[in-house]
Amino acid sequence: MDHFSIILNKVKGIHFISQQQQRIGLLTIATFISACALYNQVFKRPASKDNCPMVPYTDTWKGSSMDYLQDPRAFVEKWTEKLGHVYRVHMFGQMHTIASGKYAREILMSDDFDFGVGTQKKFDIFSMAGIFDNNLTGAIIRNAIVKHLNPHLKEFTPHVVENFTIGFHEILGDVTEPVELSHLMPLIQRMVTRGSATVFIGKTLCKNKNVTSIMQNITTDIGKMHPRYHQSWLMAFPWMLRLYFKLYGRLSQDIKRQRKIMLDALVPEIDKRQADAQNDPNWQRPTDVLQELIEDSALSSGKHGDIYTAVLNQLLILIFASIHTTSENTSITLYRLLQNPSVIDELLQEQEQVLRKAGYDPKSGKNSCEVFTFDIIKNMPRLDSVCRESLRLRSQFFELAHTNIRDHKVTLSNGVIIPSDGDVLINTWHNHHQGGDDIGEFNPFRYVDTGYPATKVGDNYLVFGEGRHACPGRWLAVQEIKTIVSMLIHDYKFHAPEGVVFPPKGSGLPYGKVIIERK
Ligand code: HEM
């Protein structure tokens, strides 16, 4: 089967007029795109006039992609040592500038570079989710989080904790006998989804299982359709990759079905809220993100389509940014604890002290729903440090793609030129490994009393980015991670009978069987 038939089969539900027309159309597009790609690679290589060193490569199409993917850690360490903080690597069909040290900050702090544009070139999850809003802006969701979610975290916490418990029971029931899990992710994803759903869509909609199932799985489901898993050759053709993303979002029956389920739930809820706000004198305004979006003047202006579609698209952006990221990082923290069980004991001692000080009897058998309030969690510096250390040590290498969005070149302070539309990857691994001799080790209480909580971004902690676009949801994320860890270690005993593996490549997500037993 040729490449174009394969794309067609992968992009579900394509219905063109005839097979022959499909082929002619796609071959024409592909020939044009390949010619442009070749032109870009041969004639538009970034100027070497800026003396930026480059990782040598022989394969014009793959560049250094395979070397990097096979052993990213060795690749990053070798070339950073040889070439320094800023160098070029040809990967995934194009030249990238790699930046570490202070140059990472220079990129992240600059308005000339954009994370959204850079990321979408590699994985345009918005198009793949059927979001085709030309006026799309991240400012709306950022505003809803910064102005309305973060200030209310404390009051959200009881509902979030209650829903973590519901999520736990949905997956594991009462755990009357020890339960074996092949991986922690499904449990954590459900807990994070249930907890986040109360904050995002409110106390009524969060009970809709069809909606929460989509919230939990849509990022992974779309991720699995990325060509890197089934048509990796497409990665060498950035233009074709973009075409694939768009076609998938336009034609996938799965996406159409998921959007319809979400809309079927959202439309009556939005209608009801709008009617109640107008007609019910005793109406109590919900404090969730959904209400902020309904009232957002830009979304109701019609510029982003009808209000229902506009709100759905913003909620999807929020879901993509939050559920999978928080679930992954909660699992990473828990696997670190499973790898270092003595740290769990130390965290339990901290819990006991904090709970006693707050007037709880830790042995009273009270369930964790009631005890883990916002203030209790805030008073656990050792837990916070474990969290920061676990996230810092995550296997991440060249991340946070940023594109020069200006129509002119940008020159970094060392003279390196980033052409218009040029891409920079941040060498997170290098920055996260700057410090003392033990910086590569898991030192759980490294950050206790240092003034560096898990939410504080910095040059050597880029988990949440840095600068004006640093993750606005990190307070909720860290609060969720710490609460889930606290609840689980408070009520259950955990162990990993076959050990835990932190793979140095791929997603970098740790794995290992886990046995959970009620205390
Ligand atoms: C551990 C979990 C999370 C991680 C690791 C994470 C990481 C990130 C990173 C690296 C960025 C890009 C920052 C930059 O451009 O410099 C980002 C942006 C963003 N995150 Fe998070 N995030 C997490 C959880 C959340 C949560 C829970 C929310 C929502 C409540 C959220 C909402 C956003 C939004 C809206 C942006 C875009 C900000 C903008 O463009 O101005 N994230 N996040």
| End-to-end CA separation in angstroms for the chain | 56
- Closest-CA residue, ligand 1 atom 1, reads 326
Indicate whether 24 belongs to any domain: yes
Which positions ≥6 away from 271 have C-beta within 8 Å? none
Q: Quote the ligand 1 centre to 321 CA distance (angstroms).
A: 6
Predicted local distance difference test score (pLDDT) of residue 42: 45
pLDDT at 275: 96
Ligand 1 proximity of 479 Cβ (cutoff 6 Å): no
Q: Per-residue pLDDT tens for 346-391? A: 999 999 999 999 988 766 766 667 789 999 999 999 999 999 999 9
Tokens of 367: 């369930």
Confidence at residue 365, expressed as pLDDT on a 0 to 100 scale: 66
Closest CA to 116 of 317, 325, 402: 402
Has residue 12 been placed in a domain? yes
Six-digit token pair at 225? 């359709």
Position 48 scores a pLDDT of 53
Q: Is 471 annotated as a binding residue?
A: yes
Buried b (16+ CB within 10 A) or exposed e, 6-31: ebbebbeeeeeeeeeebeeebeeebe
Report the sign of the C-alpha dihedral through residues 29, 31, 404, 85, in that order: positive
Give the number of the atom of ligand 1 that is nearest the alpha carbon of residue 476: 27
Kindly report, residue by residue over 161-170, the tens digit of the pLDDT. Answer: 999 999 999 9
Hey, what are 176's tokens? Answer: 């009357």
| Ligand 1: residue whose CA is nearest its atom 37 | 471
Start-end of H helices in 84-123: 102-109, 115-122
**What ligand 1 atom has the least distance to the C-alpha of 323?**
27
Mutate to test the pocket of ligand 1, among 198, 461, 464, 509 (most ligand atoms within 8 A of CB): 464
- 483 within a domain of the structure (yes/no): no
Length of the chain: 519
User: Which ligand 1 atom sits nearest the alpha carbon of residue 467?
Assistant: 16
CB count within 10 Å of CB 203 equals 13
- Confidence (pLDDT) at 414: 95
Residue 35 forms part of a structural domain: yes
Q: Which range has the top average pLDDT, 11-15, 34-38, 298-302, 368-372? A: 298-302
Residue 112 within any structural domain of the chain: no
Instruction: Read off φ and ψ for residue 208, nearest 5 degrees.
Output: -80, 110
How high is the pLDDT of residue 44?
Answer: 44
The CA distance from 26 to 472, in Å, is 41
**Residue 305 falls within a domain, yes or no?**
no
Helical ranges in 435-500 per DSSP H = 474-491
Return d(Cα 377, Cα 386) in angstroms, integer: 13
Closest residue by Cα to residue 26 from 227, 226, 239: 239
Count of Cβ atoms closer than 10 Å to residue 399 Cβ: 15
Q: What is the mean pLDDT of residues 327-346?
A: 98
Q: Is the pLDDT of residue 229 over 90?
A: no
Q: Which residues contact 158 (CB under 8 A, 6 or more apart)?
A: 369, 373
| pLDDT tens digits along 297-325 | 889 888 888 999 999 999 999 999 999 99
**Of 94, 92, 123, nearest in space to 242 by CA:** 123
pLDDT at 483 over 80: yes
Q: Is the pLDDT of residue 117 over 60?
A: yes
- 49 within domain boundaries: no
Q: What is the pTM of this model?
A: 0.90
**pLDDT for residue 427:** 97
> pLDDT tens-digit profile of 426-481?
999 999 999 888 999 999 999 999 999 999 999 999 999 998 889 999 999 999 99
Residue 34 confidence (pLDDT): 52
Type and span of the H or E element at 453 = none
CA distance 199 to 498: 37
Separation between Cα atoms, residue 6 and residue 143, nearest integer Å: 41
Q: Determine the residue of 471, 474, 484 to mutate for testing ligand 1's pocket, defined as the one with the most ligand atoms within 8 A of the Cβ atom.
A: 471
Mean of the per-residue pLDDT values for the chain? 89
Encode 362-373: b = buried (16+ Cβ within 10 Å), e = exposed.
eeeeeebeebbe
With a 6 Å cutoff on the Cβ, whether 470 touches ligand 1 is: yes
**Which residues contact residue 127 at a Cβ distance below 8 angstroms, ignoring those fewer than 6 apart?**
120, 245, 246, 248, 249
- Ligand 1 site, residue 140, Cβ cutoff 6 A: no
Q: 142 CB under 6 A from ligand 1?
A: yes
Residue 187 lies in a domain: no
Q: Does residue 56 register a pLDDT over 80?
A: yes
Atom of ligand 1 nearest to the CA of 465: 16
What is the 8-class DSSP label of residue 54? B
Q: Which domain holds residue 2?
A: 1-44
Enumerate residues 6+ apart whose C-beta is below 8 A from 425. 89, 96, 97, 98, 99, 398, 399, 400, 401, 402
The share of the chain scoring above pLDDT 90, in percent, equals 76
Question: Per-residue pLDDT tens for 64-90?
Answer: 999 999 999 999 999 999 999 999 999
Give which of 44, 49, 58, 51 is closest to 95, Cα–Cα: 44
Instruction: Identify the weakest region by mean pLDDT among 219-223, 252-256, 297-301.
Output: 297-301
| pLDDT tens digits for range 183-198 | 999 999 999 999 999 9
Mean predicted confidence (pLDDT) in 19-25: 47
Q: What is the mean pLDDT of residues 211-240?
A: 90
> How many whole angstroms from 139 Cα to the centroid of ligand 1?
12
Q: What is the pLDDT of residue 191?
A: 98
Q: What pLDDT is attached to residue 135?
A: 79
Q: How many domains does one find in the chain?
A: 1
Do residues 469 and 292 touch, judged by C-beta distance below 8 A?
no
Average pLDDT over residues 237-260: 94
- Can you tell me the distance from the alpha carbon of 285 to that of 287, in angstroms, rounded to the nearest whole number? 6
Query: Given this model, what pLDDT does residue 29 score?
Result: 53
Q: Evaluate whether 91 touches 68 at the Cβ level (below 8 Å).
A: yes
State which ligand 1 atom lies nearest to the alpha carbon of 317. 35
Distance CA 160, CA 82 (A): 48
Long-range contacts of 285-288 (CB under 8 A, 24+ apart): 286/202, 286/203, 287/148, 287/152, 287/155, 287/156, 288/198, 288/199, 288/200, 288/201, 288/202, 288/203
Token representation of residue 378: 């805030």
Amino acid at 279: N
Q: For 489-506, write each residue's pLDDT tens digit.
A: 999 999 999 999 999 887
Ligand 1 atom at shortest distance from the alpha carbon of 469: 41
Q: Is the CB of 333 within 6 Å of ligand 1? A: no
Which DSSP letter does residue 144 get?
A: I
Ligand 1 atom 31: the closest Cα is on which residue? 473
As to burial, measured by CB atoms within 10 angstroms (0-12 exposed, 13-18 middle, 19+ buried), residue 58 is exposed
Ligand 1, atom 12, residue with closest C-alpha: 465
